[in-house]
Chain A
Amino acid sequence: MPDPAVQVLDVTKTFGNRKILDAIRLDVFQGETLVILGGSGSGKSTLLRLMIGNLRPDGGDIIAHGKNLCRMTQRERDDYRKTIGVLFQSGALFNSMTIADNVALPLREHTDLAEETIAIMVKIKLELVGLREHANKMPAQLSGGMKKRAGLARAIALDPKILFYDEPSAGLDPVTTAEIDQLISDLNHKLGVTTVVVTHDMGSAFRIADRMVLLDRGKFVISGTPELLRNSQDPLVKQFVHGLTVGPLTDRQRTGAYEVDLLGGEL
């Protein structure tokens, strides 16, 4: 096994009275593509935000590149963030700038490179995601899939060691989803980037994953290869992976004591 790039150790996160993550343990190994699966509200996006340092855990530690993310100073955290790239669900492009300026921003902010060099690097990154001809457009002029690709070009601007993707296929048609999946795989294989993808799209998950974990109510239910998940006989895993309408996930929603609710709380 290669060394872990990110280690999540017994991390707990609570919002108000709701425990989102409950003593989670997870290793992300260098060079792998790890897919974190889970339904809406299962805590998978929260886990991603913890791993990129945008949220702090209430308990537990996150070790990234051998350093504890929870005890880092602002400067150390920023140094860590320069080694990662994040593609947000909406692409999160800066709407006031052109696509080229979006990609150039991390380079302008964190390097002392000359403008000419930056221009060349921007072209290379945009070519990687197939958007070189659209460099001078504003984000509002792009389609959903193009915005995500542009967001990806910005995420890889500083040649990150780890790439995080938050729901890369959300809101995209099947063909565009497949294109994005291809890009994720290519970047992982060609650049050797450790990849962490948060998604609930099983088709896309099976296409890209080396390893998968399924998160449910703040805990991991299963962790293993795509084959293991596909053939799992656990009712919950089976329901999620195959998208069944009957199973523990849907039963849970129906145990809300309908009769009690109907009769105004008295039975």
Chain B
Amino acid sequence: MPRMKVDDSAMVSILFSPVIALGQAAISTVEFIGGVGYLMRDTIFSVRDALFGKRGRRLGWKNLWTQMSRVGVHSVPIVCLVIFCIGAILALQMAPILRDYGALPQLADIIAIAVFRELGPLVAAIVLTGFAGASIAAELGTMVVSEEIEALEAEAISPIRFLVVPRVLATTVMMVCLAVISDLMGAAGGMATSRIFVGVGIPQYFQHTFSAIKLQDFLTGLIKAGVFGAIISSFACFLGLGVTGGAEGVGSATTRTVVLTIVALIIVDLIFTAVFYHLGW
């Protein structure tokens, strides 16, 4: 009977729709990671060619410099403000508990470890995602829409070498620099709050900070920062260059860049932390 058949297929589609949705999500995730992976591979090859190619070094310093100032320099004040506040918040949150235990000077140790190992690089990366990631995705997406990418290809200029390489290099380098600034500002935020509201003296705070932080705490933070920078820029470039469908496509690529990058940053951070934990770093 034909009517039964319709109901059967409806039942089947209801039963299987979560499975299908899950499968599609898995496929698109793998496709996305694969796409970003290919882009990173091409980027690394391009950097190699630019450094050791037949025509000598042609990295385009001017272009790289422009991107570094755009990505890094302009985001310094915001990173400073945010991480300073986070340092201050940590100090205020921790102070009552530590006071109960009579371990108030240890405030500096906690803030130092939290900021140098974790929050400094992560907060800088999240600010940079909003700052540089979104603007790179929007910029490249607009270039796709206005046929600029096609024009580059038609001029035999690789969009990877010309657009992606300077952005990825600039973001990675500047992310490491920002992490250093962020570390220092976070500690400064904690110190200022401790001095003014909690009553821990600056020399004491300094002393505790330096005794708590080992070189590897600082370095693991910087390694993470470099990887964060590469993730931010490669996601932004991949999604920007993949724009289809005009202004709306640019908007959705920008949103997806910010959301997916932040998710990826947190997951990668977790993986790093787990690995460092097992290595005892």
A: residues with CB less than 8 A from B are 49, 52-54, 77-79, 81-82, 84, 86, 88-90, 92-95, 105-106, 109-110, 112, 151, 154
10 contacts between A and B (CB under 8 A): A52-B154, A81-B155, A84-B154, A92-B151, A93-B148, A94-B143, A94-B152, A95-B143, A110-B156, A112-B55
Q: Are A88 and B151 in contact (CB under 8 A)?
A: yes
- Name the contact of B157 in the complex, choosing from A86, A92, A109 (C-beta under 8 A): A109
B156 touches A88 (CB 8 A): no
Extra 19 A-B pairs, beta carbons < 8 Å, given A86-B151, A90-B147, A106-B156: A53-B153, A54-B150, A54-B153, A77-B156, A82-B156, A84-B154, A86-B154, A88-B150, A89-B147, A94-B143, A95-B143, A95-B146, A95-B148, A105-B155, A105-B157, A109-B155, A109-B156, A151-B151, A154-B151
CB contacts (< 8 Å) of B148 on chain A: these are 92-95
Main secondary structure of the interface of B (DSSP, over half): helix
Determine the chain A residues whose CB is within 8 A of the CB of B156 once the complex forms: 77-79, 81-82, 106, 109-110
Interface residues on B, range: 10 to 19
Residues of B within 8 A of A151 (CB): 151
Interface residues of B, Cβ cutoff 8 Å to A? 55, 142-143, 146-148, 150-157, 162
Q: Which residues of B contact A52 (CB under 8 A)?
A: 154
Residues of chain B within 8 A of A112, CB atoms compared: 55
Which A-chain residue is minimally distant from B147 (CB atoms)?
Answer: A92
Chain B positions within 8 Å of A53 at CB level: 153
Are A88 and B155 in contact, CB atoms less than 8 angstroms apart? no
Most buried by A among B146, B151, B152, B162: B151
How far is it, in angstroms, between the C-alpha of A213 and the C-alpha of B140 when the chains are bound?
Answer: 35
* Alpha-carbon gap, A151 to B152, bound state (A): 12
When C-beta atoms are compared, the residue in chain B nearest to A82 turns out to be B156
Cross-chain contact A81 with B153 (CB below 8 angstroms) = yes
Tell me which of B142, B143, B154, B162 contacts A81 (CB under 8 A): B154
Bound-state Cα–Cα, A139 to B225, Å = 37
Taking the nearest CB of chain A, how far is it from the CB of B6, in angstroms?
15
Q: Is the CB of B153 within 8 A of A88?
A: no
For the complex, what is the distance from the CA of A92 to the CA of B151, rounded to whole Å?
A: 6
B residues in contact with A94, CB < 8 Å: 143, 148, 151-152
Give the nearest-CB partner of A55 in chain B: B150
Pairs of residues from A and B, 8 with the lowest C-beta to C-beta distance, nearest first: A92-B151, A78-B156, A81-B156, A92-B147, A86-B154, A88-B147, A106-B155, A82-B156
Closest to A106 in B: B155
Complex Cα–Cα for A54 and B143 (A): 16
Most A CB atoms within 10 A — which of B143, B152, B157? B157
In the complex formed, the residue of B with least CB distance to A84 is B154
Q: Are A90 and B146 in contact (CB under 8 A)?
A: yes
**Which among B142, B153, B155 has the greatest number of chain A C-beta atoms within 10 A?**
B155
For residue A79, which residue of chain B has the nearest CB?
A: B156
In the bound assembly, the distance between CA atoms of A94 and B150 in angstroms comes to 11
* CB-based nearest B residue for A52: B154
Q: Is the CB of A106 within 8 A of B157?
A: yes
* Smallest CB gap from B146: residue in A: A90
Once the chains are docked, how many angstroms separate the CA of A105 from the CA of B162?
A: 11
Q: How far apart are the CA atoms of A112 and B151 in the complex, in Å?
A: 21
Whole-angstrom CA separation of A123 from B218 in the bound complex: 54
Identify the closest chain B residue to A80 (Cβ): B156
Residues from chain B with Cβ under 8 Å of A78 in the complex = 156
Cβ of B164 to closest chain A Cβ, rounded Å:
15
> Least Cβ distance of B146 to chain A in Å?
6
A106 and B156 CA atoms in complex are apart in Å by: 8
Closest-by-CB residue of B relative to A74 is B158
Q: In the complex, what residues of B have CB within 8 A of residue A93's CB?
A: 148, 151
Most buried by B among A77, A82, A92: A92
Knowing A94-B148, A95-B148 touch, does A54 contact B157 (C-beta < 8 A)?
Answer: no
A112 CA to B55 CA in the complex, in Å? 9
Instruction: Please state if B154 and A54 are interface contacts (CB–CB under 8 Å).
Output: yes
Across-interface contacts of B147 in A (CB, < 8 A): 88-90, 92
Q: Which residues of B contact A49 (CB under 8 A)?
A: 150
For the complex, what is the distance from the CA of A23 to the CA of B157, rounded to whole Å? 30
